[in-house]
């Protein structure tokens, strides 16, 4: 009955959800004729020699995190096809980069006819869900078709756990068909257990995000960009910023320029549809702006470099001295973003006070004094000035931290 009511409500609101998904935005890749895949009209895989392993990621972040795991999975099972699904077109853009390892299809909307169509055409033997992207009909019909379902790199914040506790019947509906939940840490496992997941279904594998694979060309491209931006000037990056954060960042950068006139801010908005808005905001505040997509020989001479591209975060962080991680200044709306990317590159990290999505990781970084938490513009400014003055980068402590906690890919493949 609960699933029936859920399906009815989803049917009613799906036009709004689909409008949001398909709406054209600057910097957002179009779906083109592939929109039909959201409705279960899924093309069969080119390699249908065996039943494939189905890896579901939502968007860009999950897809990037899944890449080392998919590489390891393919190495262990070279003859088994892998299909990777994403909901968004930006996620699809990332998935295309590993098309030699896995074929991409769009995730069908969570309505019975669409899920059945996908399963009928793809016929997966196993479904692996990245993090905690749980959809009732997907799990129900996949389990009904005999597909083993595991959640990998699973995380459950206390905030999310508290919400699920209020609607336990819905959580049980979500979790009934799941065979294994491979958690990032013991805190996540304990929260799943408190919600009624049997201990036999829970394993702790660590976070896949620790197993970052940094290609040498990424380092080289980052160094090349830095040489163009100016090797001797102080450069900081504000990564994955959201609405109402850029104003805060720009105010800090304006004051920083009074101390360090040649300082450069690499500004990376989280969502591509906001690139033009952020560019306008910078110009309205009288900054000298250059954009990555419109580079010329003189375009690197500004005091703000707007990174209006997708999938280049590691390259951009490599080009900076210090990294401020966004999504952490706007209350409980976002809960921070992945601080392990700058850590893997040995860049000093600063974040705002809202980081519940990465609490365990940031707590560990605080224990080794490898991250700074700032609440005000004055605190961020002071932190930047201290770090630019000390010039203690790259930070070898951070790279050791990453190496110490790596191995989640190997452990996850073992359980799969």
The residues that are catalytic are 62
List the beta bridge partners of residue 238: 267, 324
Residues 6 or more apart in contact with residue 96 via CB below 8 angstroms: 104
**How far apart are the C-alpha atoms of 221 and 204, rounded to whole Å?**
35
List the beta bridge partners of residue 22: none
Exposed, middle or buried, 333 (CB in 10 Å: 0-12/13-18/19+)? exposed
Largest CA distance in the chain: 65
């Amino acid at each position: 009955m609960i699933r029936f009511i859920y399906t009815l409500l989803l049917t009613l609101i799906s036009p709004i959800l689909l409008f949001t998904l398909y709406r054209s935005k600057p910097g957002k890749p179009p779906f083109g004729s592939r929109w039909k895949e959201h409705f279960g009209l899924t093309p069969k895989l080119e390699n249908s020699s065996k039943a494939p392993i189905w890896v579901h990621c939502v968007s860009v972040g999950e897809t990037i995190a899944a890449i080392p795991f998919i590489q390891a999975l393919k190495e262990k099972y070279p003859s088994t096809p892998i299909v990777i699904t994403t909901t968004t077109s930006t996620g699809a853009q990332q998935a295309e980069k590993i098309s030699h390892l896995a074929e991409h299809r769009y995730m069908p909307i969570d309505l019975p006819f669409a899920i059945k169509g996908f399963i009928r055409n793809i016929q997966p033997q196993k479904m692996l869900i990245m993090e905690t992207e749980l959809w009732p009909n997907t799990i129900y019909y996949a389990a009904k078709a005999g597909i083993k379902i595991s959640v990998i790199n699973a995380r459950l914040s206390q905030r999310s756990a508290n919400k699920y506790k209020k609607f336990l019947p819905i959580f049980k509906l979500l979790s009934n068909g799941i065979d294994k939940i491979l958690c990032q840490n013991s805190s996540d496992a304990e929260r799943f257990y408190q919600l009624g997941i049997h201990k036999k279904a829970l394993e702790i594998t660590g976070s896949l995000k620790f197993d970052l694979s940094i290609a040498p060309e990424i380092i080289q491209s980052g160094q090349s960009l830095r040489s163009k931006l100016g090797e001797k000037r102080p450069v900081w990056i504000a990564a994955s910023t959201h609405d109402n954060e850029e104003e805060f960042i720009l105010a800090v950068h304006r004051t920083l320029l009074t101390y360090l006139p040649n300082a450069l801010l690499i500004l990376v908005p989280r969502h591509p549809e906001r690139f033009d808005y952020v560019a306008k905001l910078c110009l309205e505040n009288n900054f000298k702006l250059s954009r990555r997509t419109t580079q010329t020989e003189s375009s690197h001479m500004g005091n703000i470099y707007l990174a209006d591209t997708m999938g280049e975060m590691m390259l951009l962080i490599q080009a900076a001295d210090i990294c401020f991680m966004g999504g952490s200044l706007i209350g409980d709306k976002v809960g921070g973003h992945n601080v392990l990317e700058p850590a893997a590159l040995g860049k000093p990290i600063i974040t705002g006070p809202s980081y519940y999505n990465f609490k365990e990781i940031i707590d560990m970084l605080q224990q080794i004094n490898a991250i700074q938490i700032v609440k005000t513009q004055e605190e961020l400014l002071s932190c930047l000035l201290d770090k630019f003055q000390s010039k203690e980068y790259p930070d070898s402590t951070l790279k050791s931290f990453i190496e110490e906690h790596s191995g989640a890919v190997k452990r996850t493949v073992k359980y799969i």
